Amino acid sequence: MKPALHPGRLLARRYRLLDQIGAGGMSVIWRAHDEVLDRIVALKVLAPSLAADARFRDMVRTEARSAAQLVHPHVTSVHDYGETVAPDGSITSFVVMELLTGEELELRLTEGPLPWSEAVELGAQVADALATAHRLGIVHRDITPANVMLTRTGAKVLDFGIATRVGAPDEDEDGDTFGTPAYVAPERLDGAPAQPATDVYSLGVLLHQALTGRVPYPADTWDQLSAALAAGRPPSLAGVPGLPPEVARICLSCLTRDPAARPTARQVASGLRDQLLPADPQAATMLAPTVALPALAPAAPTPAAPASARRVPRPVLVAAVVLAAAVGLAGPALWPDGDPPPVALPTTSPTGQPSPAVPDAAPAGTSAPASPGRPEPTRALPGPASLLTVANRLDGLIGAGLDGGEIRADVGLDLRNELRNLTAAVGSGPADLTGPVTRLREKVATRVREGGITPGYARRLDSAIADLAAARV
């Protein structure tokens, strides 16, 4: 007799199980074929021992509803939720998600801490995902390395299985605290309601571990956590090679005992990305167009990693930016209007079709100052930046526009959805970016006419989108 779940079984007359790819305390993960849309997906199926309990089925359904609201490049997409009843009356409850290819952060950290630039980019991506969840009133409650996947397109936050609404009680029906002890904020031990600040504390623990290889307060139980918090010395990031002081300040501010004193997830994302901008003069110019441009100096050579430290495949994070000379990344936005750069970028629209025009209505006196010096026409420039670097730069620009009121919230969500679809298409195999880039530029042009983006900011977005066509795939 075959077990209830086995390769070949069809769930909800749609999802054909292929093979089991993971298991946890509450669920098993199957690779499956969606026979309606003809695509491979991941099915998170509630463990049979728990499926008969309506409370646990409700938890799975809540995860699906919470995560389905989050359309973001660094959150795992949820496609569907379903329940099936077998002839014997047993219930199978499952969530259908995108199938990710990559490596769990937890596994990566068994090798030791990340280089600080990779850890900071990872932290910014997770913080940005949390900022979107918090804006929708959702608290994750279990940000740990086991719930972050490293993929070709960056970090992905997984498992909203114990997510809840802001202000909801933070204990289950038996009075137990949800989460993983070493990552749980101190106030949660006292039963304080779920708040975004509790996720920010967990983010601080995650960043501390990525930078140092250890959590600030090691604990496997709630009693151990209480004792560690009572006796432990304040965490420190001293000794992390090359770590900017501002990164240490941001991380430690996330770990402060007072929830009200912690920064928001959006502030963490912006602050961490700011520490990466010196290696990327184009992003710095787009995010601060009224300040003088920094002097362009050749990038310092990056020492090669030892062979024993190389992993294949590994996600390319912001370290790719450091490998390019600063002047090579500078795009058309760095040159005065009407004065073309010495190297032409590929067109982002079909041959013979003009790119969509974005209204030129930037207020007088706010245009970017002239470049401090032009390279000679014969000077060799480095190759284009990677697609991941350019996409992360554009994502950060969208976030900054949302914070500054330059982009309406629904428009920012729409743009990020388009960007996510573009990077996902490349992640699944060779793809022609001409069509997706053109559609994204057209969307910006349309939204500025509708009043969803300010004209000046639309020009900066259009410049960043244009760089996608020239990115290295």
Task: State the catalytic residues.
Answer: 142
> What is the b/e burial string over 153-171, where b = at least 16 CB atoms within 10 angstroms of the residue's CB?
bbbbbbbbbbbbeeeeebe
3-state class percentages of the chain: helix first, strand second, coil last, to nearest 5? 40, 15, 45
Q: How far apart are CA 330 and CA 348, in angstroms?
A: 17
Cβ atoms of 259 and 197 closer than 8 Å: yes
Q: What is the end-to-end Cα distance of the chain in Å, rounded? A: 48
Q: How far apart are CA 143 and CA 119, in angstroms?
A: 15
Instruction: Give kind and range of the element (H or E) at residue 83.
Output: strand 78-85
Cβ atoms of 266 and 127 closer than 8 Å: yes
Cβ atoms of 317 and 117 closer than 8 Å: yes
Q: Is the dihedral of CA 206, 207, 213, 218 positive or negative?
A: negative
Cβ atoms of 215 and 161 closer than 8 Å: no
DSSP E strands in 87-127: the ranges are 91-98, 102-104
Residue 115, φ and ψ in degrees, nearest 5: -55, 145
| Strands of the sheet with 39-46, listed across from one edge | 10-11, 15-23, 27-34, 39-46, 91-98, 78-85
Coil, helix or strand at residue 43: strand
Q: How far apart are CA 283 and CA 292, in angstroms?
A: 14
Q: How far apart are CA 49 and CA 309, in angstroms?
A: 41
Strand bridging mode 138-139 / 164-165: antiparallel
Residue 220, φ and ψ in degrees, nearest 5: -110, -15
Residue 384's nearest CA partner among 432, 440, 325 is 325
Residue 210's nearest CA partner among 60, 88, 108 is 108
